[in-house]
Amino acid sequence: MIFNKIYNRVILAMLVVLAITFTACSSDDDDNSGTVKLESYGPSPALRGSQLTFIGKNMDKVTSVILPDNITITDIEVVSNEQIKVTIPQDAKEGYVKLIGPGIEITSKTLLTYTEPISISKIAPASVKAGQMLTIEGDYLNLIQKVVFADNVEVGYKEFKTWERDKIEVKVPSEARTGIIILADTADIPVELKSETELQVVLPSVEKVADLTNKKPGDVISVSGKDFDLVESVQLPGEETVEFTVKDNVLSFTLPEGVTDGAIVMVAYSGVHVAIANIGMAVPSELVATPATGIKDGTEITVKGINMDLVTTVLFPGVEEAVSPTSKSATEIKITVPEGTISGNITLNTASGNTASVAITTLKPEVLSYNPASVAAGNDVVLNGKNLDLVASVTFGGNVKVEVTPSSATALTVNVPVDAETGKITLTMKNGETVEASSLTITKPEFCYAPVLPGSDEEIKSGTILALDVQNGDKLTGVQVNGNNAQYILQGSTLNILVPSNANGNTEFKLISSNGEVIHTIYITSSGIVETVIMDEVRDLGSWAGEGAGGAFRLYKESFEGVKAGAILKFYFTVTGYGQLQLNNANWSAWDTPVFEDAGQTFYEMELTQDFLDNIMNTDDGWSTTAMVIQGQDLIISKVSIITGR
């Protein structure tokens, strides 16, 4: 025994001396030149049947390795661009080694020699379980310092139970997997000897993969099998683990809340997954909804069926947010219909992610008659029927839509747009569903109206002239914009309207005729300049005429609230002589008296400075909200306005 130990140490020492690093014949090119450069190879002495490793630069460009005598090897394992490996055939001789590649041939500087052949004659048992002893028989096994199982699971010589020339006994680690095993030493370029066949490592197993269809959370699952002592964990679908127990070759666990469909596996300590069962969680079934028709917001629905206690939330068609049942049992749930629900399938959600559905139909509005049966465009029509309180808009023939706010479920009054046509009416419900009603006969109005309004792509600015083609213009008696009289000129069938400077957004243009009126809504873009009239009665200042004589007049603080410095105060007038316009505060203290002698001048603009605004807003006459008193001579004032936005 002492002789064997001494012998082993001598052999190991010889291997250390012999397995030195050899430098290959290569140029001194820069490492980044792309040239193949052999720096070392080994082991040498080597074992026939083991791997020979070459280390250097750009080794991945090597296409073949030639061993003595002229044995060409093209089956090259490329570890990286710095390392390749080949297996030494049994008939290889000692000699120099060549590396061949595109335009290259490198010959080693030293001989490749061989050591005593380490060999494997038997591995037993062929199928082994983690924790059991594995016996490897052969020759020169005392030179081996580690056994490497599949996936680089190593056991070093210090853990060998037996380490002799003809036998190694090693305990199979729990991480070991089925695969080729490798015997190796621990040199920088190690001797490596692979087994010819795979070692079969036993895994935990079940008698039969269970079918767990229609299981529920809380159910206990038990499966029979063997080698459950190798199980590290049990994983549910989604890789969630669950606690388990093993007794008498039976593995058991309880299904938790939220478990989903899929495969349940047991994970061995080696990391290998083994299927236990395929799970299909129970879902609500045999569903019946009451009521299932005539549904509207706030309706309470009862859904009866099997496994109803699994329902967590309910999603209604047309509604983004799911709602929770107001009550729940194993056989039924109750739910309240949320706003926005449309006809379709309601979806019952479960914690497992499974769903079930049942159809519902919403309550629909119904038009039974029109009053009058034939209506002139621009006039009102009454829709008589049922459930009309569900209507949000009415679309007439010609695709003309009118928004409505119903006040009754049985009658709905709608103003027929002047551009509406005879045809079927479409009711759009508040939830977005539509219902088609019978045709309504629409006659054209006899009062003045515009059959075609400006398109959405036309920009109409405040302060400009709006030209509308109208019909029945001979009936027109006036135009109002947002309830205020507007200036207009009718030229043939073209109506020109002065758009007020303060108009902005959707603006109402009312065409007033001797036999009726119509309102057209037109979108106006603000020009940025807003003129607000603060006085529009005619005042003849005469020769300093007083207020009672129709001359002097007042402007009030309310008109200047919120007005900022820089705004313009504009007077519209007619000059009748040596015109003077005196501007006074509430206590008749004059600020300025501009003079006008040009009979062609029709207005006067003054900038409102902060000093002026402070003067008129902070002066109090003690009995009124007067901001200014205007008096003068030879001027007839027709209007006063404030202009902002210049």
Q: Provide the domain count of the chain.
A: 7
Q: In this predicted structure, what is the pLDDT of residue 646?
A: 67
Inside any domain, residue 404: yes
CATH number at residue 252: 2.60.40
Two tokens, residue 478: 């006036």
Q: What are 102-153's pLDDT values in tens digits?
A: 989 999 999 998 876 778 889 999 899 889 999 999 988 888 899 999 889 9
Same domain for 289 and 276: no
* 458 inside domain: no
User: pTM of the entire structure?
Assistant: 0.46
> Which residues are 273's β-sheet partners?
267
Q: Are residues 98 and 22 in the same domain?
A: yes
Residues 354 and 298 in one domain: yes
448 within domain boundaries = no
Residues 382 and 406 grouped into a single domain: yes
For residue 222, which of 256, 245, 242 has the smallest C-alpha distance? 245
Counting as low any pLDDT under 50, the low residues of the chain are 1-30
Q: Do 151 and 220 have their domain in common? A: no
Domain contains 196:
yes
Domain boundary among 306, 335, 360: 360
Element (H, E) at 12: helix 2-18
Does any domain span residue 451? no
Tens-digit pLDDT profile for residues 282-337: 788 889 999 999 999 999 999 998 888 889 999 999 999 999 999 988 889 999 99
Dihedral through CA 97, CA 100, CA 104, CA 106, nearest 10? Answer: -10
pLDDT of residue 21: 34
Q: Is residue 294 part of a domain?
A: yes
534 & 639 share domain: yes
- CATH number of the domain bearing residue 342: 2.60.40.10
Q: Are residues 100 and 128 part of one domain?
A: no
Q: DSSP per residue over 567-603, as a string? A: -EEEEEEEEEEEEEEEEE-TT--EEE--EE--TT--E
Residue 615: inside a domain, yes or no? yes
In a shared domain, residues 537 and 620: yes
Boundary of a domain, candidates 225, 250, 281: 281
Nearest to residue 390, comparing CAs of 337, 331, 449, 344? 337
- The reply to whether 543 and 632 lie within a common domain is yes
Domain ends where: 480, 509, 524?
Answer: 524
Quote the pLDDT of residue 116. 66
CA distances from 231 to 176, 208, 495 (A): 13, 17, 91
Domain containing residue 620: CATH number:
2.60.120
125 lies in the same domain as 174: yes
8 Å CB contact between 61 and 80: no
Tell me whether residue 102 is in a domain: yes
My answer on whether 540 and 631 are in the same domain is: yes
| Residue range(s) defining the domain that contains residue 413 | 366-443
Is the same domain home to 89 and 152? no
